[in-house]
Structure 1
Amino acid sequence: MSGILILLAIALAVVGIIIGIHNGIIEKYNRVKQAWSDVVVQERQRSISCLKSKLC
């Protein structure tokens, strides 16, 4: 009986670790996606201001 509980505890720990790793990967993916989105917006703003001032 105690062997089953130990295996169950180990299985739950492994599942928890896998979920944590998955969430970390998704979080980093979303950060990179947001960072590139910020770069695109900044470049668009730079282009618009460049077109308005004609100093580029």
Structure 2
Amino acid sequence: MAFGRRRIGRPGLAGTVARTAALPGTANEVNQRAEQRAALTDTEVATAKARLLG
């Protein structure tokens, strides 16, 4: 039975590139979700005010 060799130590170039690419993508998703949540909250507040005043 052959065992795969496993790298020990620092990640190679491909691992570093993949990790670097994943970080901005994650930050972008988090930012978009926060903006969507804020927009929903603003809409809900406006709707509640309209119901009170209307």
TM-score range, shorter chain: 0.7 to 0.9
Provide runs of 4+ in structure 1 moved above 3 Å: none
Percent of pairs identical after alignment? 2
Indicate the SS of the match to 2:33. Answer: helix
Q: What's the TM-score once normalised by structure 1's chain length?
A: 0.73
Aligned to 2:22: 12
Instruction: Select the structure with the greater relative contact order (CA < 8 A; seq sep ≥ 6).
Output: 1
* Structural RMSD (CA): 1.2
| Structure 1 unmatched runs, 5+ | 45-56
Q: What's the TM-score once normalised by structure 2's chain length?
A: 0.76
Count residues with an aligned counterpart.
44
Aligned to 1:31: 41
1:22 aligns with one of 14, 32, 41? 32
